[in-house]
Amino acid sequence: MVQSPTGPNAIASNWLDSFGKALETKDVAKVVDQFMPHGWLRDALVFSWDYRALEGHKKIASYLTDNGALAQTTLSNFSLDTREGLTP
């Protein structure tokens, strides 16, 4: 079966590319735009030594801006894990 350009892998790859570029450029507004209005950001030791779960654009933007979480982090080279058993 041939995967269409709008298939699950393409959709996930496009989202991850946009999310990664926003993180690399440290653009909080663009990072937040990658989430649904009431979406969740779960920080598991990426931006700080604490585990956090933040719901909604306002809380995510505040976290990334107020404590400098995004400014203090260097993230790059994002890619999907396409190993067998992990694909849609």
User: pLDDT tens digit string along 11-59?
Assistant: 888 999 999 999 999 999 999 999 999 999 888 777 777 788 999 999 9
Q: Examine the pLDDT at 87 and tell me if it is beyond 90.
A: no
Cβ contacts of 29 within 8 Å, gap of 6 or more: 61
Q: Which of 41, 48, 45 is nearest to 67 (CA)?
A: 48
pLDDT at position 17: 92
Q: Provide the whole-model pTM.
A: 0.78
pLDDT at position 2: 54
**Contact 55/46 with Cβ under 8 angstroms?**
no
How open is the CA angle 24-29-31, to the nearest 5 degrees? 45
